[in-house]
Amino acid sequence: MSEARTDFPANSEVGTGSEQVPVRPMEFRRWVEGLPKYFAADGDIAMSHVLAVLSSTFPEGEKFFVRSVAAVRDQITDPRLRADVEGFIGQEEMHGREHQVLNDRLAQHGYPTRGIDSYVRGLYWVRERIQTKKVNLAFTAALEHYTATLAELLLTDEEARKAVGKPGARDILTWHALEESEHKAVAFDVYKAMGGGEFMRIFVMFLTDLLFILETSIMGVVSIAMDRDARRHPVKLARSLARLPKSPFVSWRAVRILAEYHRPGFHPNDRDTRQLIAEWREALFGREGQLTEVLAS
């Protein structure tokens, strides 16, 4: 895992996106081949399950984001936002594809990634038949604030990166985090460009808070309950569960960043992450950038 990246697909089928939201073809399959079951730091059982659950929701969740934005892209008149939308779609498609690679590896270890994938697919199938395009965009913008928050925590907090543990899983999440920061305002701006109002935006965020916490908690409990290896080590599992509330991902800082979205007049770029993005672009993809060497150090 110490070599520079040389395995980018030569002929990418994806678009190039925009300067702010570039599309980077990635190929992580080889990188996750040796990933152990408990890939979080110190073989932490609960954190491995939490990350596996999150990763399991991404492919279908991100397809929903893409459909929501693509449904209105022809109505966007601002050429810059149109270019960013193309970048957003390309980035999210690539995230879904590469998280599927990680999820396939996790499924080999017995994580219920396929069950969660089917549940999320079914849920959006139903919801998209009930919700308007604007409501779909409001949910996409709300969930994008969740991913942008997780991304900011991961990119600014070394403890958070350490908590993810093994290279492979950490590589995918750090690359994903950079791109979530790059496109954090796109779905929001599309929602606004389609005339989305503040009341619906904030109301949908409250619903998202409820659904996100409820669903990921239930999925996490089910995932751990199905894990025979974890049940064989009850003390280790209990210690791991006790550590979870102290994780950087469930910190007050995380709650504070998430809460900002509920403020009327909020815009994702109110949190200035330009410097953070520049640093991580250079670290991961700069001329000297060597993805795994940076992450493994």
Other beta carbons within 10 angstroms of residue 158's beta carbon come to 10
Nearer to Fe ion, 84 or 180 (CB): 180
Of residues 132-151, which lie at the interface with Fe ion (CB under 5 A)?
A: 147
97 is written with which tokens? 């594809």
Piece of the chain touching Fe ion by CB under 5 A; list 31-39, 163-171, 172-180, 226-234: 172-180
- Chain centroid to Cα 45, Å, comes to 20
User: From the list 95, 99, 170, 201, which residue makes contact with Fe ion (rule: CB under 5 A)?
Assistant: 95
Nearer to Fe ion, 147 or 223 (CB): 147
Residue 247 Cβ vs Fe ion, minimum distance, rounded to whole Å:
21
152 is written with which tokens? 């900011």
204 is written with which tokens? 């949908």
62 is written with which tokens? 């991100």
Of residues 13-42, which lie at the interface with Fe ion (CB under 5 A)?
A: none
Piece of the chain touching Fe ion by CB under 5 A; list 27-35, 94-102, 119-127, 272-280: 94-102
Locate all alpha helices (DSSP H) within the chain, ordered by sequence.
29-32, 45-70, 79-108, 113-130, 133-156, 158-164, 169-182, 186-193, 198-225, 228-231, 234-243, 252-259, 274-285, 291-296
49 binds Fe ion (CB under 5 A): no
Residue 167 Cβ vs Fe ion, minimum distance, rounded to whole Å:
20
Of residues 176-195, which lie at the interface with Fe ion (CB under 5 A)?
A: 180
Residue nearest to Fe ion (CB): 95
Nearer to Fe ion, 44 or 182 (CB): 182
CA distance 273 to 203: 26
99 binds Fe ion (CB under 5 A): no
166 binds Fe ion (CB under 5 A): no
Number of residues that bind Fe ion (CB under 5 A): 4
93 is written with which tokens? 């498609």
Q: Which of 3, 110, 120 is nearest to 64 (CA)?
A: 120
Residue with tokens 């940076």: 294
Nearer to Fe ion, 95 or 161 (CB): 95
Residue 152 Cβ vs Fe ion, minimum distance, rounded to whole Å:
13
Question: Which residues in this chain contact Fe ion in the complex, by CB under 5 A?
Answer: 92, 95, 147, 180
